[in-house]
Chain A
Amino acid sequence: MTDNFSRRDFLKLASVGAATTAILTGCGPASRYVTREPYTKMPEYTYNGQSTYYATTCRECAAGCGLVVRTMQGRAIKVEGNKNHPVNLGKTCVRGQATLHGLYNPDRVQDPAKQAKRGSRDFSSMDWDAATAVVADALKNTDPAGVAFLMGMAPDHLFDLVSDLAKAIGAPAPIRFGALGMFEARATLGKAVESLFGQAAMPFFDMGKSDLVFSFGANFLETWLSPVAFTRGFANMRRGGGHGRGTLVHFEPRMSQTASKADLWIPITPGTEGLVALAIGRIAAEARGGSLPTAFADVDVEAIAKASGVSAEKLDELGKLFASANAALAIPGGAALAHSNGLETAEAVLALNALVGGLGRAGGVFLAPLAPMQTEFSRPANMAEMADFVEKLKSGKVKTLFIHGVNPVFELPKSLGFEDALKSVQTVISFATFPDETAMQADYVFPDHHGLESWGYQRVAAGSSQSALSGAQPVVSPYYNTRATADVLLAAAASAGGVLAQALPFKDEVEFIQSKIVALVSESDGYFNAPEINTFTAYFQQYGGWWKTVDELSTPSGDALGKTIKVGEAKFAGEGEFYFHPFVSPVLGEAGANKPWLQEIPDPTTTAMWSSWVEIHPKTAEELGVDNDDVVRIVSEAGTVEAVVYKYPAIRLDTIAMPFGQGHTAYGRYAEGRGSNPADLFGEQVNGAGDLAFAGMRIKVEKTGKKYPLSRLESRMGVYGEALGEEH
């Protein structure tokens, strides 16, 4: 890397192999290797009437979709999908589209600041030198064992840097967490794969080539793992890739958005998904003939029919359907795994695939490839690990806590007491871009750039059959006085000197990223090849990452059907007459509440906007004496929340559902004080993989007598026939 390598050279490079993507440029306005040019030669991003498009990576969740952002005169105008990106092939989800409302959010943290007293919101701005000094001081003068890093699920490059940093100073490895990971039950999936196939990996579900999908609680069209990729898979399945129109059967106590697209929705008793999978397995095995596999040998279909509320005839029908499909696929996920028996449920569902020869078969289950430069399967912390971490905080062993990319005060179960635990930590430094709840409990907020102003990369964990590393670059110059956390840490490391400076000898974030991706220069089968790292970096930015052009799916091995799968009875914490079924808002996700346009996007199933609600079946509501727009109090063993009633006709009569995403007490004007947070109700029960059993709860519903008009797009008159005249 030389200093005179200009952005114009980048452009020349970019134009060489970029016939189809001529609009993409390799280098953004925040490019740091800019040489001075005459005034008449304006940078391309300031030409009047000309748009410039930059490839980058979406940060609204950790799936790592490739984006191409249209900019004009230095302003980001529109998010579009990166057509070449293997995860999303040019598509985006609703949250990705609205990411610009995060970038230009009026409530971003604008300067590094120190808070006079935690929670006081009395911030005094400081300059970045002072901020860097604070970080350097914390890294240098804290006992390494007392330094802790809590990271979000994105971005990966920062996680790598922090991991290196922690290793260098001998601090514990950073912990990663995200509410989406919790709701996805990622740890359970990984553990189930490990126990069935002997290898910890992310399963890859080849939905597009399947002709029958049994989904046990996996909300793959909403937020689960990689929704854009799964939506494409679903569409391909429906279009019928060679098998005719594919069929989707969804098992979930509530009709979610995913369930609403199912040809058959089975409103199953919560916690019996694994049992039903076993019953289907047994019936399917019988239908296919041959000897009964061990996994399904001891299954009592009648008892399962009774427990699950799915009739024996229905189970029989489903089992035979599954057995007769050309390419059947069973997917475990979401709330189905969030029970005390969740791990076994995951195993039972995965075993179904083994039964019909779906392991390694087109339209079946594979093991997802590791991302480039990744040596082993990694996953975010499960709830058991988070509980340990909170204990550690409480014990006072952690002196300095760095938090980036995650909002644990909001996302963790309130009963875990994270907010309380922070009190035992001497110094809390948040790198939050937005003034979220956790930042409000920090001593310092050193705001990171928004994702669209940032460099970085993200490993693709689940959405692609190709091994992919999604690249991020700034599409606009930073709007506020923010600084990349990586740069802050590198500068702090440099000023701290010693082992730190030795371990992280990088001038800036880009140099660090190059130091990582340099390993890919010599890789074969890449989407592009380059002789050396600078050219490679230019392409990496221009194309929005690097990925293999060939599938690297591996076939699960091991005798998945050879061992008995014992799905026990799900344990429900708390008492009360209703099951509780929390789900992630498909529109807001875990962190969308501060984006005004996302608030105004109607929820797909309820069309509710700008608030949260509880879904109660109309008959149940009648029994409870509550109506639409009544505020009810939900009481669990761990807490209470109040929310507005939505009489939802497609939910079990004994189940109450509530979306996660609202209920912020900070996080900017559009999020704060809006709706309520079901995480306040969560207990600490975990499943066999340590994931939170958030669906394993029983709750009570109490009337409050209050009313709150829930904004809906739909007409209650037209859709539910309220207040219409009678036939006469």
Chain B
Amino acid sequence: MTTELKIPEFSANFAESGQQGKWGMAIDMDICTGCQACVAACAMENNVPFVGEADSGYGRSMHWIRTERFWEGEFPEIKMTPYQPMLCQQCGHAPCEPVCPAFATVHSQSEALNLQVYNRCVGTRYCANNCPYQVRSFNWRDFERPEPLPNQFNPDVTVRRRGVMEKCTFCIQRIHRAEDQAKSEGREIADGEFTTACAQACPADAIVFGRIDDPESAVSKLARGSRGFHMLEELGTLPSVTYLKAG
């Protein structure tokens, strides 16, 4: 028996359906507490290097996900804007992709994700320039991880060397593992069967990950709600991440 692998018809239908992609995320800014568990979980899952004090203070931190916050008003009426975890939005219409001369960042047709192919990357950093969300991080050096720290490396994820661009992958290694599992059992992946490292860690469950091409999934339901919006929607990048407004 063969299981039919769902490949979204890419070019035309994709745009007409208004569908964002296959995998998506909803982040509820009302309950995100800014606790940074997602940041740590992501770093641990994806072998993201730490860069040290000087580099991190100079905009070279490698976080694939960061929590943004701003201020509104003046003391004592000051308010912090809701914490906004910012990660690769896995745009359906990604500005980073066409500008890479080496095809190192491409759109996956089967996952409808924005891929970064480390081995192809020659480090022109054009993609990062062109990312309106500024969520790509570049390996400015071979960041040192003294022994025995490398014991912790996740063998499912490539360890990147200097000169290579990287970014959030929606934990594609977990997607593939779950897909393989489901395929071997001749079924579709169930909603909530697995999730990304950030969503898994999130103590408030503010991050929900799943199929957005399935209208019944938790993430689709959240994304459809009245609080949902996309970051920099006006650019037409068709992000796969939906933020839920606070309040």
A/B: CB atoms within 8 Å of each other: yes
Residues from chain A with Cβ under 8 Å of B35 in the complex: 93-94, 221-222, 227, 231, 257, 586, 604
* Residues on B with beta carbons closer than 8 Å to the beta carbon of A263: 247
Q: Given the complex of chains A and B, what is the CA–CA distance between A261 and B45 in angstroms?
A: 27
Q: Decide: B75 and A101 in contact? CB cutoff 8 A.
A: no
- Of A245, A261, A605, A712, which contacts B57 at CB under 8 A? A712
Whether A100 lies near B50 (C-beta < 8 A) is: no
| Residues from 216 to 264 in A contacting B, C-beta threshold 8 Å | 221-222, 227-228, 231-232, 234-235, 238-239, 245, 255, 257-258, 260-261, 263
Alpha-carbon distance between A97 and B40 when the two chains are bound, in angstroms: 6
In the complex, A303 has a CB within 8 A of chain B: no
> Which of B7-15, B125-133, B200-208 is near enough to bind chain A?
B200-208
Q: Does A340 contact B (CB under 8 A)?
A: no
**8 A Cβ contacts from A100-116 to B:** 100-101, 103-106
- Inter-chain contacts of A235 with B (CB < 8 A): 31, 33, 203-206
A260 / chain B contacts, CB cutoff of 8 Å: 34, 69, 80, 83
- Contacting pair A106 B40 (CB below 8 A): no
- Tell me the chain A residues, 495-514 only, with Cβ under 8 Å from chain B: none
Within 8 A of A (CB), among B150-166: 150-155
A residues in contact with B4, CB < 8 Å: none
Which of A77, A239, A605, A649 has the most chain B CB within a 10 Å cutoff? A77
Report B-chain residues with C-beta under 8 Å of the C-beta of A689.
Answer: none
A599 touches B203 (CB 8 A): no
Among A75, A92, A221, A602, the residue within 8 A (CB) of B152 is A75
Residues of B within 8 A of A719 (CB): 70-71
Please tell me if B235 contacts chain A, counting CB pairs below 8 Å. Answer: no
Taking the closest CB of chain A, its distance from the CB of B120, in whole angstroms, is 25
Chain B residue numbers with a CB within 8 Å of A104 are 148-152
From known contacts A100-B152, A106-B148, A260-B80, infer whether A78 and B202 are also in contact, taking CB-CB under 8 Å.
Answer: no
Query: Which stretch in A144-152, A328-336, A540-548, A609-617 binds the other chain?
Result: A609-617
For chain A, residues 64 to 79, give those with C-beta under 8 angstroms from any C-beta of chain B. Answer: 72, 75-79
Which B residues touch A651, using CB under 8 A? 75
Q: Which residues of A contact B79 (CB under 8 A)?
A: 265
Q: Is A710 an interface residue when CB atoms closer than 8 A count as contact?
A: yes
Query: In the complex, which residue of chain B has the Cβ closest to the Cβ of A93?
Result: B37
Sorting the interface of chain A by its residue count into under 10, 10 to 19, 20 to 34 or 35 or more gives 35 or more
Q: How far is the CA of A100 from the CA of B154 in the complex (A)?
A: 12
Query: DSSP class of B's interface residues: helix, strand, loop or mixed?
Result: loop
Q: Are A91 and B71 in contact (CB under 8 A)?
A: no
Q: A106-B149, A600-B50, A710-B57 given as contacts; is B34 within 8 A of A257 (CB)?
A: yes
Cβ-defined contact, B148 with A604, below 8 A: no
Question: For A77, what are the chain B residues with a Cβ–Cβ distance below 8 Å?
Answer: 152-155
B185 at the interface (CB under 8 A from A): no
- Residue B25 CB within 8 A of the other chain: no
Q: Taking A596-B50, A600-B50 as contacts, is the C-beta distance between A649 and B78 under 8 angstroms?
A: yes
Min distance, Cβ B85 to any Cβ of chain A, angstroms: 11
Pairwise interchain contact B205-A101, C-beta atoms closer than 8 A = no
B189 part of interface (Cβ distance < 8 Å):
no
A258 to B80, CA, bound (A): 11
List B residues 111-126 near A (Cβ within 8 Å). none
Contacts of A79 in B (CB 8 A): 44
Q: Chain B residue with minimal CB distance to A310?
A: B76
**A711: CB under 8 A from chain B?**
yes
Q: State whether the Cβ of B108 lies closer than 8 Å to any Cβ in chain A.
A: no
Name the A residues within 8 Å of B203 (CB-CB).
Answer: 88, 91-93, 227-228, 231-232, 235
Residue interface mask B45-74, A partner, CB < 8 A = 1: 100001111101110010100111111001
**Does B175 reach chain A (CB closer than 8 Å)?**
no
Q: Is B100 an interface residue (CB 8 A)?
A: no
B41 in the interface (beta carbon within 8 A): yes
Provided the pairs A97-B44, A98-B40, A604-B83 are in contact, do residues A92 and B50 lie with their beta carbons within 8 angstroms? no
Q: Closest approach, in angstroms, between the C-beta of B88 and any C-beta of chain A?
A: 17
CB distance from B144 to the nearest CB of A (A): 10
Instruction: Check A598 for interface membership: any CB of B closer than 8 A.
Output: yes
A101 touches B66 (CB 8 A): no
Given known pairs A78-B44, A597-B44, A604-B67, the reply for A711 and B54 (CB within 8 Å) is: yes
Q: A602-B36, A649-B75 known; 13 other A-B pairs, CB under 8 Å?
A: A76-B152, A78-B45, A97-B37, A100-B152, A257-B34, A258-B33, A263-B247, A600-B61, A610-B56, A611-B53, A617-B75, A650-B75, A710-B57
The 6 lowest CB-CB distance pairs between A and B, nearest first, are A711-B57, A97-B40, A610-B53, A235-B204, A231-B203, A604-B34
Interface residues of A (CB under 8 A from B): 72, 75-81, 88, 90-98, 100-101, 103-106, 221-222, 227-228, 231-232, 234-235, 238-239, 245, 255, 257-258, 260-261, 263, 265, 267, 479, 586-587, 596-602, 604-605, 607, 609-611, 617, 619, 649-653, 674, 709-714, 719-720
* Residues of B near any A CB (own CB < 8 A): 30-31, 33-37, 39-41, 43-45, 50-54, 56-58, 61, 63, 66-71, 74-76, 78-80, 83, 146-155, 197, 200-206, 247
Q: List 18 A-B contacts (CB under 8 A).
A: A81-B200, A81-B201, A91-B202, A92-B201, A94-B39, A221-B33, A221-B35, A596-B149, A600-B63, A602-B36, A605-B34, A609-B53, A649-B74, A650-B80, A674-B53, A711-B56, A713-B56, A713-B63
